[in-house]
Structure 1
């Protein structure tokens, strides 16, 4: 990950020994809106709304596994919903998805399609290595668009400065903006490695198609190994 690495804490290993994460880094071009991407998003939403019922959402494997990790860490997943679950619920409630920018919208589509809660960050804003640990009481975390978030008991990625991402929300400090040219995308597999390759390939395809992604590198981190591709 451009001379950085991801360290998985012992606590995460204990509650989710099968945890896998795909870390995609690439150079990108962001823009405020991509009509082709939104055609795909709207088509997916239409299909999803006719296929799923509200009670089906938290049984999707990736969402279910993330919720179980929350419960094992003492966090209520109904109060602090994983982002993938929250997005799916918006569709079934008939609420429009937020339109942010091409990169964020793209990541949301992957999250909807796969059920993974995905972190999207401006790589240039991250300082040092990342560690996936557990949020602590009173830890400051300015969630994007929602203010201070109580991350106690949530899985949280931290860099040398502090928290940057949880499955519920990412942090303002390292968020994607219109100026982002280097992307870090983390696909978090609390359900293990099954389907993670497909989600990664789908993400890379969309990044090439809608964000002119180049210099793409993918690293898979597990509780005991690291592998690379692309």
Structure 2
């Protein structure tokens, strides 16, 4: 299991930070009809109840944006993924379909407002992860984004380097159809409230759609 720690930089920027990680054995698939029925239902609900200006006011999204500012990043240029996903749907652009594990994590991010890191656990190097702040010119290849400037972004690092930020995860540890073990990290920059529910939602969706027993949850701070 993983030992996840928080750097002093993050503790200073966000004293109330709480985290939860779900580790589970999984079977991934290219597409899951039941999951997409849930995604489409949420999309209709979001569009009917939310205005664009409401998105950044969601507590989890607002808290993540504030941490970006405190760490030196402009959240309007480098949007947290939960915010970016909601904005995409509000603009009438369909959510991209990748595979069941990625789509599942995106649904939890959309519902909860948390920017959630979803990793192929077998690609993570070592058993220790630390949440720190990106440095100038620190190498990081965002999924589908090429080289990403992570200076000032919160970033999880394994023994080799950065694997995930709230804006984008790294190509090196991304999930794919061969993924057998998932590590999903929920970042509670808004504190404890809602964290347990989001982690539980990941477990329930894994049970329903990824041939999993839901795995186990690790809480850290």
Instruction: Report the secondary structure of 2:130's partner residue.
Output: strand
Deviation at 1:215, TM superposition (A): 6.6
Contact 2:3/2:129 (<8 A) preserved: yes
* In structure 2, distance between residues paired with 1:21 and 1:33: 29
* In structure 1, distance between residues paired with 2:202 and 2:118: 12
1:186 aligns with 2:201: no
* In structure 2, distance between residues paired with 1:43 and 1:196: 23
1:148 aligns with 2:152: no
Q: TM-score, normalised by structure 1?
A: 0.95
* In structure 1, distance between residues paired with 2:201 and 2:102: 15
Other-structure match for 1:228:
none
* In structure 1, distance between residues paired with 2:49 and 2:32: 26
* In structure 1, distance between residues paired with 2:149 and 2:90: 27
Task: Map 1:75-154 to 2 at 5 A.
Answer: 75-128=73-126, 129-154=128-153
* In structure 2, distance between residues paired with 1:158 and 1:34: 31
Unaligned runs of at least 5 residues, structure 2: none
Other-structure match for 1:225:
none
Other-structure match for 2:204:
205
* In structure 2, distance between residues paired with 1:57 and 1:135: 25
Other-structure match for 2:61:
63
Number of aligned residue pairs: give it.
220
Higher alpha-carbon deviation: 209-218 or 179-188 = 209-218
Deviation at 1:214, TM superposition (A): 2.6
Deviation at 1:68, TM superposition (A): 0.2
* In structure 2, distance between residues paired with 1:169 and 1:195: 22
Other-structure match for 1:7:
5
1:220 aligns with 2:219: yes
Other-structure match for 1:16:
14
Higher alpha-carbon deviation: 213-222 or 132-141 = 213-222
Other-structure match for 1:40:
38
Cα deviations across residues 121-148 of structure 1 (Å, max 9, x unaligned)? 0000101210100000000100000100
Other-structure match for 1:226:
none
* In structure 2, distance between residues paired with 1:218 and 1:8: 17
* In structure 2, distance between residues paired with 1:63 and 1:106: 19
Deviation at 1:120, TM superposition (A): 0.2
Other-structure match for 1:162:
161
